[in-house]
Amino acid sequence: MTRSSVLELLQSDKFLQEVAVKGWVRTFRSNRFIALNDGSTINNIQCVVDFENTDEALLKRIATGAAVSIKGTLVESQGKGQKVEIQVTDLEILGDSNPDEYPIQPKKHSLEFLRENAHLRIRTNTFSAVMRVRSKLSYAVHRYFQDNGFNYVNTPIITGSDAEGAGEMFGVSAFEANKAPLNEAGEVDYKQDFFGKQTNLTVSGQLEAETYAMALGKVYTFGPTFRAENSNTTRHLAEFWMIEPEVAFMDLDGNMDLSEDFIKYVLGYVLEHCKDDLAFLDNRLTQEEKSKPQAQRSEMSLLEKIKFVVENNFKRVSYTEAIDILRNSKPNKKKKFQFPINEWGADLQSEHERYLVEKHFKCPVILFDYPANIKAFYMRLNEDGKTVRAMDVLFPGIGEIVGGAQREERLDVLKEKMAALDIDEQELWWYLDTRKFGTAVHSGFGLGFERLVQFATGMGNIRDVIPFPRTPQNAEF
């Protein structure tokens, strides 16, 4: 008999037929009812054991967490809450689970406790729902780009350029610690290291992706990135996945359109394809919100928030307009911001981004044309000489989800900028070549995949949307 998934059985109406299923016991109650889950859906199938004719020793082994193989008859369910159930005729324990030791009991565990058991937390409803949504989202990412003529590029994870400029880097070396050879100046002599130079884990694939956009036209990366920033926030990981499209002949307006269209597509995709998981997560978030004081509660449920983003235009606002709004805002006047906004040129902190999105505009916001000196060297200088064609997409509850720009395509302007920032031209000779040979207007952005998953699942902490989070002082598993 071929084995069915729980999902298939729950959707089937093949009553009175023999079926086979394998999975893990979620609960076993009254010595009779097994709630069985196999990961194919958030829903369990109820398997009814004929306990009077079942060996007592076997009944004892039907414990939460045990792996079982079940054969039986699919019948219409008598009980509430499910359409079908299995009348068990044959039950085999594939793998026992000692209830006294198994950490994932059928009760509510704190997210902190589950983080310490990241190898088992996937067996809970919350984490299986989050990770199924994550999987579907990444499929939607590829679908969007592939359907729109983009080529998937794998940029290097070990990088030889330390000019990516997006954050603190992790060094990569084959030297044994303490035994690295020193040069005459007493510094580590990387010439003798594996690559003959100092190398790091990448913080962004953008610079390499730009070279590919200059031939393939439309490209995107989707891979791991690393930042050794010691920021213990709910939105930062040391290892995270980034999506970076880069498009030739596209200006900043096109870039804003692309980011908005892309985000709406992938969120729309999960709305359609993750209904059960999102319904569960929607309810989970609503329960969580109830424990907060009224004033801090969100006005919208998770599903409402996602639909709102999919159905409404993102508000596009220049940095200069945003500064005016912030300067005249209530929290600024009442000195409620930790970093008060006094003048044009200030870097925006997450408190400011969230004020704009959550309080002022109440919708996703795309901020553009930032001061040149708070943004990276490769962003295109505007005619005013003081702002660059940068854009950040800001999301409710998340803050920055996308950072992007139209790139500086003019060789002389780019070189001037690099000189001013003390960036070695030799180091980026290959990047400058793209401006020497057939340079063209081009733009792109980076979207942190986990922040997107956070938004789609309503999880407050980024550590709960990646299987095994890497954060300061934490690389277990």
Q: Which is nearer to Mn ion, 400 or 408 (CB)?
A: 400
> Which among 222, 212, 207, 223 is positioned nearest to 247, based on CA atoms?
212
| Integer-rounded Cα radius of gyration of the chain | 27
Q: Which listed range, 110-118, 326-334, 406-414, 446-454, lies at the site for ligand ATP (CB under 6 A)? A: 446-454
Of the residues 403, 444, 458, 469, which one makes contact with ligand ATP according to CB under 6 A: 403
- Structure tokens of 231? 């920021």
417 near ligand ATP (CB under 6 A)? no
The pair of structure tokens assigned to 169 is: 């880097």
Site size toward ligand ATP (CB under 6 A) is: 17
Q: Where are the alpha helices (DSSP H) in 338-464?
A: 350-354, 411-420, 429-436, 449-457
Residue-by-residue DSSP string for 117-151: TTTTGGGSHHHHHHHHHHHHHHHHHHHHHHHTTPE
Which residue number, 3 or 315, has a Cβ lying nearer to ligand ATP?
315
Residue 167 contact, options ligand ATP, Mn ion, none, Cβ 5-8 Å cut-off depending on partner type: ligand ATP
Separation between Cα atoms, residue 272 and residue 268, nearest integer Å: 6
Lookup result for tokens 């639909």: 307
Of 276-284, 291-299, 395-403, 408-416: span binding ligand ATP (CB under 6 A): 395-403
Q: Which is nearer to ligand ATP, 256 or 402 (CB)?
A: 402
* Residue 165, phi-psi category: left (phi > 0), alpha (psi -120 to 50), beta (remainder): left
247 is written with which tokens? 């498009």
User: x-or-dash pattern for ligand ATP, window 191-210, by CB under 6 A?
Assistant: --------------------
Residue nearest Mn ion by beta-carbon distance: 400
Stretch that binds ligand ATP, among 138-146, 185-193, 248-256, 443-451 (CB under 6 A): 443-451
Choose the one of Mn ion, ligand ATP, none that binds residue 427, judging by a C-beta under 5 to 8 angstroms depending on kind.
Answer: none
- Residue 70 contacts which entry, ligand ATP, Mn ion, none (Cβ below 5-8 A, type-dependent): none
Query: Contact 357/394 with Cβ under 8 angstroms?
Result: yes
Instruction: Pick out residues in 159-198 that bind ligand ATP (CB under 6 A).
Output: 166-167
The reply on whether position 123 binds ligand ATP by CB under 6 A is no
**72 lies in the binding site for ligand ATP (CB under 6 A):** no
Residues engaged in binding Mn ion (CB under 5 A): 400
Answer yes or no whether residue 85 interacts with ligand ATP by CB under 6 A.
Answer: no
Contact call for residues 110 and 100 (beta carbons, < 8 A): no
Report CA torsion sign: 444, 449, 455, 460. negative
- With CB under 5 to 8 Å by kind, the binding choice for 242 among ligand ATP, Mn ion, none is ligand ATP
> In 3D, which of 92, 91, 82 has the Cα closest to residue 50?
91
Contacts of 311 (CB under 8 A, 6+ apart): none
CB-CB contact of 471 with 232 (8 Å) = yes
Residue 237 contacts which entry, Mn ion, ligand ATP, none (Cβ below 5-8 A, type-dependent): ligand ATP
Q: How far is the CB of 300 from ligand ATP (least distance, A)?
A: 21
400 belongs to the binding site for ligand ATP (CB under 6 A): yes
64/68 Cα distance (integer angstroms): 11
Tell which one of 236, 354, 407, 463 touches ligand ATP (CB under 6 A). 236
Choose among Mn ion, ligand ATP, none what residue 8 binds, the Cβ cut-off being 5 to 8 Å by kind.
none
Contacting residues toward ligand ATP, per CB under 6 A: 166-167, 227, 229, 236-237, 240, 242, 400-403, 446-448, 450-451
